[in-house]
């Protein structure tokens, strides 16, 4: 068998992963029914659908999105941008990144006045008045996360406070 995983183990692992996400309940039930039927074609279709639901759950959890809204957005992209010829997984990732970016933009615009006040943003940059306060640190941390989400960067990316401070004009 080499490096292949026996189908029963793979199916068990897939079911275990799917059970972590609320949006996978229906797809998991369909997959289990397909397994019981023994029909290979049905199993493959159900497995593909379940894998997409798992991806949806993972993306929703990672980026703080609602899985149902993410599914809807991906479906809309697939319908309106069919000429891109993306896979369902790619449409899902595209939708997640777009929703992530839009959420970050809403957060930034909705909170900019508060952020600017706390940081002491002036035409010349950031004043030193609040530097070192907890509010200042929280605001810098918020802006680091916003920049990461706006750019679609990996969540593990560590932006320095200096990066945010030096680029505040670009961020606003």
Beta carbons within 10 angstroms of residue 125's beta carbon: 13
pTM: 0.78
What's the pLDDT score for residue 152?
Answer: 86
Share of the chain above pLDDT 90, in %: 52
The radius of gyration of the chain's CA atoms, rounded to the nearest angstrom, is 22
- Distance (Å, rounded) from C-alpha 149 to C-alpha 152? 5
Q: Nearest 5°: CA angle at 161, between 94 and 167?
A: 70
Comparing 17 with 125, the larger pLDDT belongs to: 125
Exposure string of 54-92, with b = 16+ CB inside 10 Å and e = fewer, is bbbbbbbeebebebeebbebbeebbeeeeeeebebeebb
Locate all alpha helices (DSSP H) within 81-127, ordered by sequence.
88-119
**Confidence check: pLDDT of 3 > 60:** no
**Residue 22 pLDDT grade (very low, low, confident, very high; cuts 50, 70, 90):** confident
pLDDT tens digits, one per residue of 88-145: 999 999 999 999 999 999 999 999 999 999 998 888 778 887 888 999 999 999 999 9
**Confidence check: pLDDT of 5 > 80:** no
Instruction: Taking residues 44-71, report their average pLDDT.
Output: 92
What angle, 0 to 180 degrees and rounded to 10, lies between the N-to-C axes of helices 40-63 and 25-37?
160
- Classified as helix, coil or strand, 19 is coil
- Domain ranges within the chain, ordered by starting residue: 1-63, 99-171
Beta carbons within 10 angstroms of residue 14's beta carbon: 17
Locate all alpha helices (DSSP H) within the chain, ordered by sequence.
7-18, 25-37, 40-63, 67-80, 88-119, 134-151, 161-166, 168-171
What's the pLDDT score for residue 38?
Answer: 86
- Classified as helix, coil or strand, 141 is helix
């Amino acid at each position: 068998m080499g490096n292949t995983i026996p189908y029963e183990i793979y199916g068990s692992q897939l079911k275990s992963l799917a059970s972590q996400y609320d949006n996978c309940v229906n797809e998991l039930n369909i997959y289990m029914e397909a397994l019981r039927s023994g029909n290979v074609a049905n199993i493959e279709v159900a497995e593909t659908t379940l894998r997409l639901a798992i991806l949806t759950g993972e993306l929703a959890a990672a980026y703080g999105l609602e899985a149902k809204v993410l599914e809807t957005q991906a479906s809309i992209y697939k319908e309106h941008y069919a000429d891109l010829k993306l896979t369902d997984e790619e449409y899902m990732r595209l939708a997640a990144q777009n929703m992530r970016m839009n959420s970050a933009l809403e957060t930034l615009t909705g909170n900019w006045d508060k952020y600017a006040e706390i940081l002491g943003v002036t035409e010349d940059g950031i004043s030193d008045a609040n530097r070192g306060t907890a509010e200042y640190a929280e605001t810098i941390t918020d802006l680091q996360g916003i920049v990461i989400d706006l750019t679609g960067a990996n969540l593990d990316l560590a932006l320095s406070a200096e990066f945010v401070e030096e680029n505040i004009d670009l961020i606003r």
